[in-house]
Amino acid sequence: MTRRIVGISLKMYFGHARATEWFAQVASRVAAHDAVASGSVEVFVTPTFLQVPAAVAAFRDTPVRVGGQDVAAEAEGAFTGEVSAYELAEVGARLAEIGHAERRRLFAETDEVVARKTAVSLGAGLEPLLCIGETERQDPEDAARASVAQLRAALAGAPEGSVIVAYEPVWAIGAPEPAGEEHVRIVAGALREALAGRPGSAVIYGGAAGPGLLTRLGGAVDGVFLGRFAHDPDALMTVIDEAGASA
């Protein structure tokens, strides 16, 4: 069964009070949304670690899943400042964002680290949200090969379980426009083929994603991964409506 997903990362834009207000506003809207209530559209949000418990509480009576924006590569131990996948699951998180381009660029995360985080997340019962994408603009066939290689590296040694791949070409993150539709179709198609052995997995698109994109892409992707566009709950609901209409 094809999944239809709308995901939101809040990054580090909101303080705790603003995040709590946003959770309440979005929870009241999605609770009354037929497509979300029926499960035909999945919604997830990844707030900061400190905001995870508040998000879990706010969305408790909705199908919205909460995740962490990162996760430790180890299950436990003397790793000051890290947050384990098992603790995230314990407080109600359901997924873990792994390998985002900012983590790779700013914190020197390697494919090996990403693979360890993927494995420990699946072991803890979290669905990995694997951020995949080429760093520079290139032909879609080359981008597909680079993205599939990155995905295979992330899944090396990982136990069974579904994953969500967020295809985010790095050059499109924060850009005025998303990657071209044919480009996304080719890369997403290659990523789907690479996920054939993991039933229930999905490929969503991020990188200047906004309204109208799901309609234009049709079934080429399973959803979108939103950033600052979703800071406005009304704007977010526009995309959820679009996902519902195309589910």
Annotated active-site positions, please? 100, 168
Beta-carbon contacts of 39 under 8 Å, excluding residues fewer than 6 positions away, are 63
Q: Cα dist. 214→73, 203, 222 in Å?
A: 33, 12, 9
CA distance 164 to 180: 21
CA distance 205 to 231: 18
| 223: nearest Cα among 8, 64, 3 | 3
Beta-carbon contacts of 232 under 8 Å, excluding residues fewer than 6 positions away, are none
Q: Collapsing DSSP states into helix, strand and coil, what is residue 61?
A: coil
CA distance 87 to 75: 9
